Amino acid sequence: MCWIPQGYSPDVDYEENTEWKEYEDRTSEIMRAECKWQDYLKVCSITLYWEPVECNIYEVKVVEVVEEEEVDDESGWLPWWVVYPVFGLSGIWKSLLIGSVFLPWWSILASVAAVDFILDFVFLWTLGLFCTPCAGFFIWLLNIALIPFTIWGWL
pLDDT, one tens digit per residue, over 88-127 is 999 999 988 888 888 888 899 999 999 999 999 999 899 8
Evaluate the CA torsion angle 11, 56, 47, 28 in order and state its sign.
negative
Determine the pLDDT at residue 140.
Answer: 93
Does 8 have pLDDT greater than 60?
Answer: yes
Q: What are 5's strand-pairing partners? A: 50
Phi/psi of residue 32, each to 5°? -65, -30
Mean pLDDT of all residues in the chain?
76
pTM for the whole structure: 0.39
Does 139 have pLDDT greater than 60?
Answer: yes
Determine the pLDDT at residue 17.
Answer: 57
Q: Where are the domains of the chain?
A: 2-58, 80-154
Q: What CA–CA distance (Å, rounded) separates 119 from 117?
A: 6
Does 71 have pLDDT greater than 60?
Answer: no
Phi/psi of residue 52, each to 5°? -75, 145
Beta strands at 50-53 and 2-5: parallel, antiparallel or unpaired: antiparallel
**Residue of 106 and 70 predicted with greater confidence:** 106
Does 33 have pLDDT greater than 80?
Answer: no
Inter-CA distances, 34 with 20, 50, 72, 75, 120, Å:
20, 20, 57, 50, 91
Q: How confident is the model at residue 38 (pLDDT cuts 50, 70, 90)?
A: confident
Helix residue ranges per DSSP H, 1-155: 21-24, 26-32, 80-126, 132-145, 147-154
**Residue of 53 and 117 predicted with greater confidence:** 117
Contact 139, 124 (CB under 8 A): yes
Q: What CA–CA distance (Å, rounded) separates 126 from 132?
A: 9
